[in-house]
């Protein structure tokens, strides 16, 4: 997995957020983190 630009980088217009070079949405990193934390919580509940 490549680095995922934070929402503020989209606002700043960094090269990694240019249309055509970035397939991520501005708040995708937050959604990804939320999903990962939910998955960890599920694993903890199973034990």
CA dihedral for 30, 31, 36, 41, sign (positive or negative): positive
Counting runs of H as helices and runs of E as strands, what totals does the chain give?
2, 0
Which residues, 6 or more positions from 4, have their beta carbon under 8 angstroms from its beta carbon? 24, 28, 29, 32
Beta bridge partners of 22: 19
More confident residue, 1 or 34: 34
Q: Minimal CA–CA distance to 21: which of 9, 35, 33?
A: 9
Domain boundaries in the chain? Answer: 7-46
Tell me the pLDDT tens digit for each residue of 8-43: 777 767 656 566 666 677 788 888 899 999 999 999
């Amino acid at each position: 997995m490549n680095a995922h630009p934070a929402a503020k980088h989209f606002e700043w217009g960094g090269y990694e957020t240019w249309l055509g070079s970035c397939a991520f949405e501005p708040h995708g990193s937050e959604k990804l983190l939320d999903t990962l934390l939910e998955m960890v919580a599920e694993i903890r509940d199973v034990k």
